[in-house]
């Protein structure tokens, strides 16, 4: 089960720094905040570095499964580009 968290009263300067950090890491602000929270939760004793797995690294299989779930249409369901070009060419 997922939980929604909210932080109220974030100073604009801090929010801007978080947006800039997210952009540098090619993430959305939401994605960047999730990584920060995961790193903090998995860090262990204060001052220890998080493991690689908590730095936003994901296996390609997990990414592919997420994309298949998010975008269920497969290429098999669509006409091939070469077939469309041939059909257009033959119709002239």
Under the banding of pLDDT at 50, 70 and 90, the label for residue 42 is confident
Under the banding of pLDDT at 50, 70 and 90, the label for residue 23 is very high
Q: Is 36 left (phi over 0), alpha (psi -120 to 50) or beta?
A: alpha
Answer whether 35's CB lies under 8 Å from 56's CB.
yes
Whole-angstrom Cα distance, residue 29 to residue 59?
A: 22
pTM: 0.48
The pLDDT value recorded for residue 86 is 92
Question: Is the pLDDT score of 52 beyond 90?
Answer: no
DSSP 28: -
63 or 53: whose pLDDT is higher? 63
């Amino acid at each position: 089960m997922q939980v929604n968290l909210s932080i109220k009263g974030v100073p604009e300067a801090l929010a801007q720094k978080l947006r800039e950090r997210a952009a540098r890491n090619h993430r959305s602000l939401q994605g960047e905040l999730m990584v920060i929270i995961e790193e903090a939760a998995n860090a262990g004793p204060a001052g220890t570095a998080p493991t690689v797995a908590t730095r936003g690294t994901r296996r390609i299989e997990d990414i592919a499964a997420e994309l298949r779930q998010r975008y269920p249409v497969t290429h098999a369901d669509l006409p091939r580009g070469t077939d469309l070009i041939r059909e257009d060419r033959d119709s002239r």
